[in-house]
Structure 1
């Protein structure tokens, strides 16, 4: 173990010694350093914080007080309403289309909410849902963001990237914009294109040099194509509406996306916590800031230490990269035949022999905000002290739970 990691383990153990496990923490020094680094990489363009990657209002408030950070990107309309009513923000972009009729009714009944929240649309069907709840003329204008598909389609049916909006070309974006602005009771104010295959795909997967080179080549070519297509799409949409902002990117592409002249703001969130998936990026790797500790409860063999719990698996494809990683003390790993278990996780490796019943092992989650779905509070570590802050779950909310 490096001296730096040893000091971190000592500091985390000391700050949380009075707490029982499982315990989740966010190291504020690393969190703030990551926020500053992301802002610098955005090169003057504002960063909208992705709430699903944080899920702690105290930390959303903290980053929004920093220069260079403005507004939030929520993942559901009920969450957006809650964040506005709680005073966290007055500027929310809901990243995914909503068909939540109760939330739409609440939004359209309150002019202040309607002025603060922008809904996502990639089809007029999304507007139909709003009108079915509260017809135009009986509500304030509803703010709309048009989503452009950022995936790369190099030839024929080949599709590189996630499946999001059906609007791919500049012509399709312009045509949809024309239909959106023609609908009474709506106002087209923004456009978004999220390049998930760049922002959310590590370009240096450990032990896979050939795959890494292929990913980097794909990302270079697809980014060139996207910049050209997004610029044309923004131009086509602006023929029909005055856009307040054009959003793009994520933690893994902040610098590249910010360099696109057609983009006026970028989004980031995961980089504040520094989960393990971002260890596979070359351009920038955030400092690990979020951890959770589990206690050793049995020693089934001299070189095995078993902790209670541990099966905090990240969403996405079922693969090794989605498993939590034992981080401190260094020199531990999961057993291939058991992995991270719901009730127990046996650990092996050089450090296992030195662990005793009652010792703590600090883990890192594969993704960022999903850690918060397992605990009611995270403890914000400042030096050798820790203060509790409720997660969304701790405040009684599980917006996609």
Structure 2
């Protein structure tokens, strides 16, 4: 057994012991569903495994994957995590009241938030904006006017794999800046404009980090996906190194960010990358069940009550349609976690107000019983609940607000 396999197995075993749901259920027996639960034993084990996979490089925490300040604090207290990767500028302004390093992972067009940033020297020193075109710079200048404190910006390098002369694009469609020459040209434009500092480069290889390479189904499709990911990692490693060198010939950089939960092993081997990004792996949602290199322990759950028994073989939950973003498909649906063996019906699936379940345990469920489910993605669960109950061992040790629970809705 290799060191990597042993470590991943240890995490799964520690978080998935036979009595796991016994203790989770006992700890939350006094709560009224629906409610959200974080198993801290699994959360901490996942954090340790992310640090192991990062192999010494700091991990910038993706806040959209947690959406709870209490759990952001918990992760950032660990030695392997450093800084936040946010998702909107208003969120960054809020987080920067407490945290001193927030990179906004996506461009902003929020003029009010830009004016707030430019008017506050402390916030401007803590927040870095994402840009990938001159229009972003123009919008910032138009919103803020001349400013005493430079706005820090990060150049997003398109990390997708482009084939057939660019006609085939494999990966997220993010930045128009793809080549080292394009990166250097844009860096020169930033350097020539007063009021800006180019602080870093970011590239997110979603075609590697966000696609499990061990999906059930066709072996041929798995083989093609793995070949694409191997090819993409090699191509990107060379291109990113060249782009970083080209930009550093124009201006110094504070950081080069890359990767995601699903690609830490490959991205950390790139010398040009100074920090990684991850967050979903802490919660271990359903979409991360199908990777060969690692297997996070499920740490985030939501619990719904049985409210109907339309037949002897069906138990119906109240609600359940907490479907994840992305291309519509079964992999975006929640996953029944306990009791094991439950599944949705083909005609109704997960519904807005009710979800009929069938399967082995369904006939034994009674009105008022609870079913534990997992969201397909990580932080989106927190848009459905106002608080998370943190279970350590066999008790709820703390109940903390989500962003929603603090009255914050950023996207």
**TM class, shorter-length:** over 0.9
Superposed displacement of residue 208, structure 1: 2.8
* Alignment counterpart, residue 148 of structure 1, candidates 154, 157, 165: 157
Partner of 1:41: 53
Write out per-residue CA displacement over residues 278-302 of structure 1, whole angstroms, 9 at most, x where no aligned residue: 0111111100000001011111111
> Are 1:331 and 2:376 counterparts?
no
Secondary structure in 1 matching 2:308: strand
TM-score (norm 2): 0.95
> Are 1:180 and 2:179 counterparts?
no
Secondary structure in 1 matching 2:170: coil
Partner of 1:115: 125
Alignment of 1:222-241 (within 5 A): 222-241=232-251
* Alignment counterpart, residue 79 of structure 2, candidates 48, 67, 74: 67
Write out per-residue CA displacement over residues 73-99 of structure 1, whole angstroms, 9 at most, x where no aligned residue: 0000000000011x1x10000000111
* Alignment counterpart, residue 28 of structure 2, candidates 5, 9, 16: 16
Write out per-residue CA displacement over residues 22-49 of structure 1, whole angstroms, 9 at most, x where no aligned residue: 0100000000000000011101000000
For structure 1, the residue ranges without an aligned partner over 5 or more in a row are: none
Superposed displacement of residue 60, structure 1: 0.2
Partner of 1:399: 410
Superposed displacement of residue 139, structure 1: 3.3
Secondary structure in 2 matching 1:112: helix
Alpha-carbon distance between aligned partners in 2 of 1:358 and 1:228, rounded to the nearest angstrom:
57
- When the two structures are aligned, how many residues end up with a matched partner? 396
Partner of 1:125: 135
Superposed displacement of residue 336, structure 1: 1.4
Superposed displacement of residue 207, structure 1: 2.2
* Change in CA separation of 1:318 and 1:168 when aligned onto 2, cut-off 3 Å: same
> Are 1:162 and 2:172 counterparts?
yes
User: Residue 16 of structure 2 contacts residue 297 of structure 2 at CA under 8 Å; is this kept in 1?
Assistant: no
Partner of 2:267: 257
Write out per-residue CA displacement over residues 328-367 of structure 1, whole angstroms, 9 at most, x where no aligned residue: 1101111111110010101111111121111110000000
User: Residue 372 of structure 1 contacts residue 393 of structure 1 at CA under 8 Å; is this kept in 2?
Assistant: yes
Alpha-carbon distance between aligned partners in 2 of 1:116 and 1:307, rounded to the nearest angstrom:
45
* Change in CA separation of 1:72 and 1:131 when aligned onto 2, cut-off 3 Å: same
Secondary structure in 2 matching 1:153: strand
Partner of 2:356: 346
> Are 1:76 and 2:88 counterparts?
yes
Alpha-carbon distance between aligned partners in 1 of 2:187 and 2:169, rounded to the nearest angstrom:
24
After superposing on structure 2, the runs of 4+ consecutive aligned residues of structure 1 that deviate more than 2 Å are 2-6
TM-score (norm 1): 0.97
> Are 1:30 and 2:49 counterparts?
no
* Alignment counterpart, residue 289 of structure 1, candidates 289, 292, 299: 299
Alpha-carbon distance between aligned partners in 1 of 2:16 and 2:248, rounded to the nearest angstrom:
51
